[in-house]
Amino acid sequence: MPQGTPEHVPDDGLTTRQRRNRPLVIVHTGPGKGKSTAAFGLALRAWNQGWPVGVFQFVKSAKWRVGEERALRLLGETGQGGAVSWNKMGEGWSWIQRDAGSHAEQAAEGWAQVTRDLSAQTYRLYVLDEFTYPMKWGWVDVDEVVSVLAARPGHQHVVITGRDADPRLIEAADLVTEMTKVKHPMDAGQKGQKGIEW
């Protein structure tokens, strides 16, 4: 089979072009490295296409993603590709002025904003980094996420990262990659280091 040829063509009434340009829900899950880094790699492609990119970082950590954030903000500011909006739960969400309360409340407010942005078609690519965790912990309802994603208008791609993606999310996704740990330096007693882990 030539590379790039589908194994079969579905009987869904769509033309190849319509099918090709279908917006995707992408999930990077599993215990291995590379879930978020691959999502930010995808953001480079979106930026290059001139697409507005919205990053929602559902983690609280000073170190995490500092390199990606600085690079993508800078790229967005060049005006040579798409604009980049970077939203961090750790600093309170940008659209909330007050102290946002518990982690659970902050995560719910993050998802509420994503829902508004999807409805308004604010971005063309959404990176919902570590978003599986608020779902796992019951802070955000999985069925509601699936329903909002299914109903999103236009041509918006959504990438969700994190371990233990819910089976309902996997079922709803178009592209799912599981990152499996084969070998990790921590197994040999090595802690994370700059430039690699952050």
By CB under 8 A, the residues from 75 to 94 that bind its own copies are: 75, 78, 80-81
Taking the complex as a whole, the smallest distance from the CB of residue 96 to its own copies amounts, in Å, to 27
Question: Is 60 an interacting residue with respect to its own copies (CB under 8 A)?
Answer: no
191 binds its own copies (CB under 8 A): yes
Is 55 in contact with 72 (CB distance < 8 Å)? yes
Number of residues that bind its own copies (CB under 8 A): 78
> Residues 15, 102, 138, 188: which binds its own copies (CB under 8 A)?
188
- Is residue 190 classed exposed, middle or buried when 0-12, 13-18 and 19+ CB atoms within 10 A define those classes? exposed
- Region of 68-76, 95-103, 107-115, 133-141 interacting with its own copies (CB under 8 A): 68-76
CA dihedral 149, 150, 152, 156 (to 10 degrees): 70
Q: Which residues pair with 127 in a beta bridge?
A: 55, 159
Residue 119 CB, nearest approach to its own copies (Å)? 21
User: Which CB sits closer to its own copies, 32 or 90?
Assistant: 32
Contact with its own copies (CB under 8 A): which of 47, 86, 126, 131? Answer: 47
Range 135-154, binding its own copies (CB under 8 A): none
Work out whether strand 125-129 and strand 84-88 pair parallel, antiparallel, or are unpaired.
Answer: unpaired
Q: Apex CA 179: angle with CA 102 and CA 49, to 5°? A: 80
Q: Which amino acid is at 54?
A: G
